[in-house]
Amino acid sequence: MIFFTRILLISASLRLLLLLAFSFSGGELYARTITDMRGIKVDIPDLVTRVATVDDGFVEGVMTHLGVIDKTAAIGSWSMKRDYRYDYESVTGEKFRYEGLNTMKFLHPWLDYLPCFNSPQGDVLNFETLAKANPELVIIRVGDCTVGATEKEKIQGILEILESLGIPAVVLYAPGYYRTAELSTIKEEMRVLGDVFGQREKALALYDYLHAAELLARERTRGVPEESKASVLYLGLNPDLRKAGSLAGVFGLNTPESYVVEDIVNARTAFRGVGRGVPLNLEKLYALDPDVIILPTYNGYHPPRELYEAPYFQSLGELKAVRNKRVYSLPWTPMNCARRLEYPIDILITAKAAYPDLFDDLKLKDHVLELYGHLYGAGPKTARGLKSTQLLDWLDEYDF
């Protein structure tokens, strides 16, 4: 109820402001119709020039690829405004720091200066700030951290307010919205965004490019017999879990993480339960004892070094994956409730970590640079910067 109390306090003058802005925009404002992922037909301008986004970087990534990122007029996520820093200390007292950014902030620092119509905590949308930005439409990605997949009342409240203000809403559903683990619905997200900006063919070609990483992993691992499958554990080193008495959280069979492991990489998820970030204690983690541990972004960035050297994880030193130095971090993706354009990196890191011999020729330290180039038109210097801002320099250190 707090959410609705705060967002529904919208004055009549705000509505008038929007109506006046639309009246003087020149010509017919809503000249064509697209269908969003609700199956709803949405009237939008023939040439979209001012867009507000409610997501955590996926929409902006596609807009960058399509060459229309400059149409962004307001953002609904603080992940594109923050600088992130994480400090750790080893058992020997040595301190080490990791600093990263949302890839969209790295590529487009000016996004930080746009109006952000969300609270820093990410839980209250300010529609007056949105209206002052005078967007022609709002693109909402349900399933990102900003608007979660299970927040049905919140989603409906947002849509009703936008309708009352006369702002068209285009809704995308991230893969997690469907309560399934697979990633194919990203293609439909691409279709909708392609339609918004009149570039459907280019947007769908982008999906095909991303999907190629999945096909590569499937093809190379298809022949791995059941008895030879690597045991892989996605381990979330959320510090809040430690404060609550657990060591870490794990990802179950109904998650996108497990889908990557079992359905794409043809390995075996060590945790056979369900749920995301399920807290486990020391005894249960040793009972799983995986061959490989993958560290996702989970309430912060977590490098292998934290698991190896931090004093609070020394009790895990005899886990097989820790003992054999088979712990790997995924790219830094702040507010990572749903997949963004860099998700092929997650797939290929997991695949190579599980089956290094099958991917011996694939040097991800070089491949990620090519991926950034294709996604964002990044030249060599910018691509290297993106690799560093996603905290992937370890790929060079490991010659991975």
Closest C-alpha to 194, from 339, 372, 34? 34
Q: Same domain, yes or no, for 234 and 337? A: yes
pLDDT tens profile 28-87? 456 899 999 999 999 999 999 999 999 999 999 999 999 999 999 999 999 999 999 999
Q: Same domain, yes or no, for 248 and 130? A: no
Q: Same domain, yes or no, for 172 and 259? A: no
Q: Same domain, yes or no, for 194 and 230? A: no
The answer as to whether 388 is a domain residue is no
Res 250: pLDDT: 96
The answer as to whether 369 is a domain residue is no
Q: Same domain, yes or no, for 171 and 302? A: no
Res 1: pLDDT: 34
Handedness of CA 274, 277, 283, 285 (dihedral sign): positive
Question: Tokens 């339960």 label which residue?
Answer: 273
Q: Same domain, yes or no, for 191 and 231? A: no
The CATH number that applies at residue 266 is 3.40.50.1980
pLDDT tens profile 263-310? 999 999 999 999 989 999 999 999 999 999 999 999 999 999 999 999
Q: Same domain, yes or no, for 141 and 6? A: yes
What's 249's DSSP letter?
E
The whole domain housing 35 covers 2-198
Q: Is the pLDDT higher at 4 or at 327? A: 327
Flag whether pLDDT at 19 surpasses 70: no
Helix (H, G, I), strand (E, B) or coil at 224: coil
The answer as to whether 212 is a domain residue is no
Q: What percent of the chain has pLDDT over 90?
A: 80
The answer as to whether 27 is a domain residue is yes
Question: Tokens 């560093």 label which residue?
Answer: 388
Flag whether pLDDT at 24 surpasses 90: no
Res 336: pLDDT: 81
Query: What are 159's two structure tokens?
Result: 């849509």
pTM over 0.95: no
Q: Same domain, yes or no, for 307 and 185? A: no
Reported confidence tier of residue 217, pLDDT bands at 50, 70, 90: very high
> Measured between alpha carbons, how far is 390 from 350 in angstroms, rounded to an integer?
16
The answer as to whether 246 is a domain residue is yes
The answer as to whether 216 is a domain residue is no
Closest C-alpha to 64, from 281, 373, 322, 325? 373
Q: Same domain, yes or no, for 188 and 239? A: no
Flag whether pLDDT at 241 surpasses 90: yes
Q: Same domain, yes or no, for 96 and 167? A: yes
Question: Taking the CB of residue 361, how many other CB atoms lie within 10 A of it?
Answer: 5
Q: How many domains does one find in the chain?
A: 2
Max intra-chain CA distance, the chain: 69
> Measured between alpha carbons, how far is 214 from 348 in angstroms, rounded to an integer?
8
Q: What average pLDDT does the segment 332-348 reach?
A: 92
Query: Which of 17-21, 97-101, 313-317 is predicted with the least confidence, judged by mean pLDDT?
Result: 17-21
Q: Same domain, yes or no, for 250 and 155? A: no
Q: Measuring CA to CA, how many Å separate 79 from each of 56, 67, 183, 279?
A: 6, 21, 23, 25
The answer as to whether 331 is a domain residue is yes
Q: Same domain, yes or no, for 107 and 43? A: yes
The answer as to whether 105 is a domain residue is yes
